[in-house]
Amino acid sequence: MKPRRSILSVPGHLQKMHGKAQASNADVIMLDLEDSVPIEEKANARVQVINSLLDLDWQQKTITVRVNSLDTPFAYRDLLEVTEQAGHVVEAFVLPKVNHPGDVYFADRLLNGIEMNIQTITAPIGLEASIETAEGLLNAAEIIKASERVQSLVFGIADYSASIGARLVSISGHGEKEEDLYPGHRWHFAISKMVMHAKAHGLLAIDAPYGNFKDPDGLRRSTVMAGALGCDGKWAIHPSQIDVLNEVFTPSADEIALAKKVIKANETAQSLGKGAIAVEGRMVDQATVRLASKLCEQAKYLGLL
């Protein structure tokens, strides 16, 4: 799967932002039909997203579309119309506020029928499930197993905060000023549990956006923590955040060199029939070898190796 270091969320009804997003350095462009679109603009946003999908050149990008929540009158039409008219351009649909595997079942069955009818769609469209409530986190394992289309779990910090009655410490509710309230990482457990479920099934884990786009230092701290917890990428709400996300989630030269050393040591040990591996005076197990291999695969895709 292509890297998803940076996912730029773009309001679906604002055409002028679509071309700018297409020219950005973001790994993924997520055209949004949900929270960033006023209710009175929902239908127009859907038309605009379809037009942008068809009119702009997205070959160098991974394109996703966030539909409206399935408990609204908009979601089924989002899935139906976007897939029928521009499904061949879309890598995945982002399903917001997924609380139950039934949400995934519905999207999966609907896409099955559309794909059978539309000949231009040559590969199954994926699904990304947003975990935004306590119920969704509790049911994460079943949500993942509901369809082979599921590619990733995404943490929705603002709605998750509301669902558990957590204190609001910032205007956006998206991660900034947390240290003023809690002496540590307030969302360590929730994100770690989401990551555990995703990685147990070979999926990606994506962190929520950082709300203050004028605070690059706060963004960096939040992104480094997300990576430390096992996240593969993070949403961005402003183009100015993209370079920081790409930098933090890109393997460094030192990391690549160490990974290559681990892989070479493992190959040498196997050729000699040895089970134990030593690198720089430290014993290395097969879990570390797998981490090194994954890092090198990403480095190769990014042209760093």
Q: What is the C-alpha separation between 197 and 141, in angstroms, rounded?
A: 6
Token pair belonging to 117: 């009818």
User: How would you classify the pairing of strands 233-236 and 6-11?
Assistant: parallel
| Tokens, residue 237 | 């709400």
159 is in an annotated binding site: yes
Do the annotations mark residue 132 as ligand-binding?
A: yes
Q: How far apart are CA 213 and CA 238, in angstroms?
A: 6
In whole angstroms, give the CA distance from residue 197 to residue 202: 9
Q: What H or E segment, with its residue span, contains residue 295?
A: helix 286-301
* Bridge partners of residue 93, in order along the sequence: 65, 127
Q: How many CA atoms lie within 13 A of 86 on its CB side?
A: 26
Of residues 161, 153, 160, the one with CA closest to residue 101: 153
User: What distances in angstroms separate CA 247 from CA 23, 136, 154, 192, 239, one per listed residue?
Assistant: 18, 30, 20, 22, 14
Helices (H), 23-176: 42-55, 75-86, 101-117, 134-138, 140-145, 157-164
What's the rounded Cα separation, in Å, for the pair 238 and 120?
32
Residues annotated in a binding site for substrate? 66, 132
Residues annotated in a binding site for Mg(2+)? 132, 159
Residues annotated in a binding site? 66, 132, 159
